[in-house]
């Protein structure tokens, strides 16, 4: 019984570390755009801006199929290869590491072993941290706003679901599709 509690506390600590690292990384972004293309096809568009003391990061999943491809590539890479890559890290590798932190967060959020309440609690904690640090993250799917998390969130009905003033569901349809795209990545 004691080990279960310890394990749970460890998981919460890991979640907290990931959230803190993610928020710190997002807060450091002031302006710019990263367009990730795979096979000459735009897949993810990340845009950062800073206005009125608020950092805003828009993450647009232009090609949801990319998540399956990334999962397959991840499986193909062994831990040995990852260690070698870290030794020869370039600025691209550093950006990839930041994206890996975000991916770890999404895996935490879509973990099939976590119940809905635990998943919502993770998002609520992230959203609160973002707001506390004047950061807004807008998640888009194919150019359509799905979810606003952080300082600029202005929830109405979504407040009932999330129990947070820092999470706004802009489109139920796009949010469902986005979560489905992310979740399908874990099912392989």
pLDDT value at residue 186: 47
- Of 29-33, 83-87, 117-121, 144-148, minimum mean pLDDT range: 83-87
pLDDT digits (tens, 9 = 90+) for 116-156: 566 677 788 889 999 999 999 999 989 999 889 999 998 88
Q: How far apart are CA 28 and CA 62, in angstroms?
A: 24
Higher pLDDT, 8 or 177: 177
Range of the domain at 100: 2-186
Give me the number of domains the chain comprises.
1
């Amino acid at each position: 019984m004691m080990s279960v509690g310890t394990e749970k506390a460890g998981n919460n600590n890991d979640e907290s570390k990931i959230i803190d690292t993610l928020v710190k990384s997002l807060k450091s972004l002031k302006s710019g755009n990263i367009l990730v293309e795979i096979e000459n096809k735009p897949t993810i568009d990340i845009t950062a801006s800073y206005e009125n003391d608020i950092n805003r990061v828009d993450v647009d999943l232009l090609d949801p199929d990319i998540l399956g491809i990334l999962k397959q590539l991840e499986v193909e890479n062994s831990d040995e290869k990852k260690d070698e890559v870290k030794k020869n890290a370039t600025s691209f590798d550093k950006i990839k590491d930041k994206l890996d932190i975000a991916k770890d967060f999404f895996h935490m959020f879509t973990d099939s072993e976590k119940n809905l309440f635990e998943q919502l609690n993770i998002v609520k904690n992230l959203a609160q941290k973002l707001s506390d640090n004047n950061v807004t993250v807008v998640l888009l799917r194919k150019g359509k706003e799905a979810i606003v998390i952080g300082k600029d969130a202005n929830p109405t009905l979504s407040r009932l679901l999330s129990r947070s003033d820092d999470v706004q569901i802009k489109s139920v349809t796009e949010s469902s599709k986005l979560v489905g795209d992310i979740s399908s990545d874990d099912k392989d």
